[in-house]
Chain A
Amino acid sequence: MKDCMFDEKQRYDDFPVAMAYVPWQKTNETYECLEKAFEEGTLFPILNKPFTGRRCV
C-alpha cells in the first residue's frame, strides 16, 4: 500500500508530551459478510473492539 500521510520513520520520542497518538491502520481487510459488519458495527475486523464494561476483549 503506497505509504499514507503518516511517516513511519518519525520517532515517537520526538513527539510532544501529553498528546494522544493512534497507531496507523495498516490493513484494509474487511468482513466478507456485510451483515456481520453491520451487526459488529465495523467493516474492519481490526477495529472490532467491543467494550464489555471491563477490560477490552
Chain B
Amino acid sequence: MMSKEQQKLLYEISMIDFAIVELNEYLDTHPYDTESVQYIAQYNRVKNKMMREYASKYSPLAVRYAEDESEWSWTMTPLPWEGGCN
C-alpha cells in the first residue's frame, strides 16, 4: 500500500504530465508560439526531476528512470493492474 507522501508525489507527476500533453497538442498546431515552447521545456525539466525523485524514493515509473544498483526493482513493484497505482 502506498504512503500518503508517495501518493502525493504520484498525483503531482500526473498533473504535470497532463499539462505537458496539453501543451504538446497545442504546440503541434502553434509551433511558433515561443511562450508555450518555453513553458513546456520548463515543465519537462520539472517532470524529469520528479520522476528521478520517485524512482529513487520508491520505484521507477519508467525504465529509463531506473537507478537500481543491486536488484531490478522494475519487476518487483506492483504493476498498475496489481494495485500499483492506488
Interface residues of B (CB under 8 A from A): 14-16, 18-19, 22-23, 26, 29-33, 35-36, 39
What residues of A have a CB within 8 angstroms of the CB of B39 in the complex?
30
Q: Which residue from chain B places its CB closest to the CB of A41 in the assembled complex?
A: B18
Q: Which residue from chain B places its CB closest to the CB of A42 in the assembled complex?
A: B22
What residues of A have a CB within 8 angstroms of the CB of B18 in the complex?
34, 37-38, 43
Q: How far is the CB of A7 from chain B (nearest CB, A)?
A: 14
Judge if A2 is at the interface, Cβ distance under 8 Å: yes
What residues of A have a CB within 8 angstroms of the CB of B19 in the complex?
30, 34, 37-38, 43
Are A4 and B26 touching (Cβ within 8 A)?
no
Are A28 and B26 touching (Cβ within 8 A)?
yes
